[in-house]
Structure formats: structure tokens, C-alpha cells
Amino acid sequence: MKKVAKCLSYIFLGLVIGLALFALILPPVLSGRLAIVRGGSMEPAMPIGSIALTLPVTPDEVKVGDIIVFKPPRHPTIMNPNVNVSHRVIEVQADGELYFITKGDASEDPDPVPIPAANVQGKVVFNIPYLGYVAYWVMSFARTWLGFVVLVCIPIVLLVASAIRDVNLSRNVRLRRLNRRLERQRRWKRRRVFGLA
């Protein structure tokens, strides 16, 4: 039972550390950023609750079929122009200025306004479905005192306790080996004294 508990704690710690490394190290290394998909306009390619990695892209590199992240231009039909949108490019227009016609996979019609190249913020490289729910819950939970204790303090205490126990066990093993060696040497000396060796 102890081995199962230890194995489960290591798996949990590995998952927490892996997610932390993925969220904190991967995007800066690749000069990108992670975002949680909150709308269903790109389903089924990007379901609600997915976590998407976006990398910077120059407008010249954008092709038809790419999913780009952009800030929508001001237009009466756009409800919230301050929210970034991820939609697929269905046409590239290059007459004087570069514009992109975009459309959500789940939408029947293209977006009402062409997207200027200056509004493009990046390209979605990949997404992991439904991991955004977990990330959102972890981020919300980590902001509370209980979350800080559960996600940071307890794993650190477990790691330190496990390291101390492992050091003590290895020291005890070395001591037992040394005692056995000394005992063998004493027996050998006794045998030589009595002429048995």
C-alpha cells in the first residue's frame, strides 16, 4: 500500500511539475504564449476549453488554412473589439495593403470585416482539447491560500521528506554492509587464532 501511495504521489508531482514547466517555460522559449479557448466558433478543430499555443508570425508568412489570432477591427457588428479572436484564414487579399478574410470553422459565413495585417498577433501552432479547463481551475485554485498550500507547500514538504528518508535508508544500508564486513573480519581473525584458517 505504501508503494502505491508513493507511486501516486510521484505521478501527481510529475504532472504538476510537467504542467508548470509546459506553461511557464515552453511559451517564452518559443516566443509564444498560451491561451484558453473560450468560444465555440472554431469547433471541432479547437473546442471550448482547449489550451492553444500561439507563436508570433509575420503577415507575409500567413497562408490560407492557417489559424491566426487577431484583434478585431472596430466595426458595429463586432460586440467586443478588445477580445482576441482565433479564426481560420480563408482568403488573403493583397491590393496595396495586406488583409485576411477569416472564418470560424463552426460559422457559416466569413467574418464581416477583413483583418488588416497589423492586427495579426500570431498563429496557432497546436492546441490541446479540454486542458484549458484544468489550467483555468489550477490557476484559480493557485491564487487562494489553500491552493498555494496544496500545490506548492505540500509537494515541497513531500519532496524534502522523501529525500531525507532516502538519505537515511542509504546510510543505514551502508552501515549494515560495514557491520557485516567487520563481522566477517572478526570471524576470520578468530579462525586464524584457533588455527582453523
Domain edge (last residue) among 86, 102, 129: 129
Instruction: Specify if 170 maps to a domain.
Output: yes
What pLDDT was estimated at residue 102? 92
54 and 24 in a common domain: no
Instruction: Specify if 4 maps to a domain.
Output: yes
95 and 6 in a common domain: no
Band of residue 196 on the pLDDT scale cut at 50, 70, 90: low
- Strand 67-70 versus strand 85-95 pairing type: antiparallel
Instruction: Specify if 14 maps to a domain.
Output: yes
Instruction: Specify if 45 maps to a domain.
Output: yes
Residue pair 147/141 in contact by the 8 Å Cβ criterion = yes
Q: Across the chain, what does the average pLDDT equal?
A: 79
Residue pair 64/92 in contact by the 8 Å Cβ criterion = yes
Instruction: Specify if 134 maps to a domain.
Output: no
121 and 41 in a common domain: yes
123 and 45 in a common domain: yes
Contacts of 40 (CB under 8 A, 6+ apart): 47, 48, 106
Percent of the chain with pLDDT over 90: 11
Percent of the chain with pLDDT over 70: 79
In angstroms, what CA-CA distances link 104 with 44, 45, 82, 109, 167? 10, 10, 18, 8, 57
Q: What is the pTM of this model?
A: 0.61
39 and 124 in a common domain: yes
- pLDDT of residue 154 exceeding 70: yes
Band of residue 81 on the pLDDT scale cut at 50, 70, 90: low
Span 71-99, average pLDDT: 81
What pLDDT was estimated at residue 99? 92
153 and 123 in a common domain: no
116 and 53 in a common domain: yes
* Length of the chain as a residue count: 197
What pLDDT was estimated at residue 64? 92
pLDDT per position as a tens digit, 89-118: 999 988 788 999 999 998 888 988 889 988
Q: Which domain holds residue 2?
A: 1-30
- pLDDT of residue 163 exceeding 90: no
Of 140 and 191, the one with more pLDDT: 140
Residue pair 89/100 in contact by the 8 Å Cβ criterion = yes
Reading the block at residue 24, the C-alpha cell is 511557464
